[in-house]
Amino acid sequence: MTQKVAVLGTGKIGEALLSGMIRAGWAPADLLVTARRPERAEELRTRHGVTPVTNAEAAKSADTLILTVKPQDMGTLLDELAPHVPADRLIISGAAGIPTSFFEERLATGTPVVRVMTNTPALVDEAMSVISAGSHATADHLAHAEEIFGAVGKTLRVPESQQDACTALSGSGPAYFFYLVEAMTDAGILLGLPRDKAHDLIVQSAIGAAVMLRDSGEHPVKLRENVTSPAGTTINAIRELENHGVRAALIAALEAARDRSRALASGNSS
């Protein structure tokens, strides 16, 4: 029997997921979407051939519901869905900081819930999606979630207790790299380069470094040491980074992101 999948609250990440699933072989006719605005729903129909429905219709018709609304809107959405979701529906949540127990308490007893934290490289099929099972989710449910999110990148299973840390590292991770590229581009301008040339130099260097990290199997320390000649330019730059506490600042930043994810889980959205 054909499995229907519904994406509820289809923003940029939800649409990226739809696109990836279609490229991976899902039939558009088996994909349902909901959106806050009717014109957005029609845009998704025109662009991807999927079927716009209401949240209640999605709950009744789809075998898997992927919830991509903002964390602060999740409670309202579940109140709307709860009367219509049978206990055999698979619920996949993409909301940062919200534990699977939040859904299990509001839906029918035994409803399987899988928690996923993905990131914006899903837009270019290079996402890192971290997947955790709720108390009623089986290995088959996890495999189904992996199949869906594998359409837009890589997946990794972790215990739910590690989700807040993963949110800090990979969920928010792309923003840290964008921030570094922004800062290094500004440095290039200070050193006398035009912005476009500085940008191209930094972006290609970042891509090359990422591919080396992924494909070489070498520890990042080893790769850095390979660039760091005695009394050379790189070691002088590294010294300044250490003198200014960049390593400690990165660790503190990730701890702050982890703590914010925990705060969202406790219901503190401010």
Region 138-147 average pLDDT: 98
Instruction: Output the CATH code of domain 173-265.
Output: 1.10.3730.10
Sequence ranges of the domains in the chain: 5-158, 173-265
Tens digits of per-residue pLDDT, 76-127?
Answer: 999 999 999 999 999 999 998 899 999 999 999 999 999 999 999 999 999 9
Is there a contact between 6 and 35 (Cβ–Cβ < 8 Å)?
A: no
pLDDT per residue over 147-201, tens digit each? 999 999 999 999 999 999 999 999 999 999 999 999 999 999 999 999 999 999 9
CB 131 within 8 A of CB 142: yes
Asked whether the beta carbons of 247 and 54 are under 8 A apart, the reply is no
Confidence tier at 1 by pLDDT (50, 70, 90)? very low
Rounded CA-CA distance 23/27 in Å is 9
In angstroms, how far is CA 219 from the centroid of its own chain? 25
**What is the spatial distance between Cα 42 and Cα 253, in angstroms, rounded to a whole number?**
40
β-partners of residue 129 are: 155
Domain 5-158 has CATH 3.90.1300.10: no
